[in-house]
Amino acid sequence: MNRKAFLASCAAAVPAAASIGWSARGAQGEPLANATVSFGAWMTPVDRFPNLSPRSANHHALMPNEVTIHCGGAVNFIVAGFHLVLVYDDGTQPGDINKSLLISPTNQAVPPLIADPNRRIYRGLDPSTVPQDRVEVVTFEHPGTYLVACGVLPHFNEGMYGYVRVVPCGPNHDH
C-alpha cells in the first residue's frame, strides 16, 4: 500500500471511530491495513488536572465496536480509563466467556478482572499498574472474527465488547 492510499484509509477511519456502533472500513468500503479503536472515552465536562480520573466520567464502550482489517494488520486500542484489553480467538462470543474466573488487579482489590484463558489470544496490561490513558497495539495474523472485550467485570457486564474481523490477504499484500 502506498503512502497516499494509507493516509486516505486513515482519514476514512476517523469519522467511523467517532461513532458508537459503526464499522470502520476504508474509503471505498475495503478492509483497512490497520484500524484504531477507542477503548473507553472521557465524557465532558471533566477536569482531570492535575492527574484526576474520575471513573464516573468514563464512557465504557468500544468505538467503533467493529473493525475490518487485512490479515497481518494491527488494531491500535487507544485506552482511556481503567480498562483491560482482552482478545479471544475466532468465533468466540460474549456468552462463551467464563465470568466466574476472576482475579484482583495488582494494586487494588476491586473491581475484579476476568481471567478466563479459554481461547484468549491476548490479555493487555493490568490497569492498576499503568497510566489510565495508553495505547496497546495488537496484530492479527489469521482471518477470522475476534472478540475484543474489556476484562473489568462491571464493564464487560455493561456490554463493553466488540469485534475485529480479519479478512484474507489479497494478492497485493505481503502476508
**Containing structural domain, residue 142:** 3-42+54-167
Residue 13 vs residue 100, higher pLDDT = 100
DSSP the chain: --HHHHHHHHHHHHHHHTSTTPEE--TTSPPEEEEEEEEEEE-SS---TTT---GGGEEEEEESSEEEEEEEEEEEEEEESS--EEEE-TT--GGGS-TT-EE--TT-S-S-EE---TTEEEE---TTSS-SEEEEEEEE-S-EEEEEEE-BHHHHHTT-EEEEEEEPP-TTS--
Instruction: Confirm whether 9 is domain-assigned.
Output: yes
Which CATH number covers residue 145? 2.60.40.420
Residue 19 vs residue 108, higher pLDDT = 108
- pTM metric for this prediction: 0.81
Instruction: Confirm whether 126 is domain-assigned.
Output: yes
Instruction: Confirm whether 47 is domain-assigned.
Output: no
Instruction: Confirm whether 172 is domain-assigned.
Output: no
Instruction: Confirm whether 127 is domain-assigned.
Output: yes
Q: Say how many domains are in the chain.
A: 1
Instruction: Confirm whether 155 is domain-assigned.
Output: yes
Instruction: Confirm whether 67 is domain-assigned.
Output: yes
**Per-residue pLDDT tens over the stretch 94-138:** 999 999 999 999 998 889 999 999 999 999 999 999 998 999 999
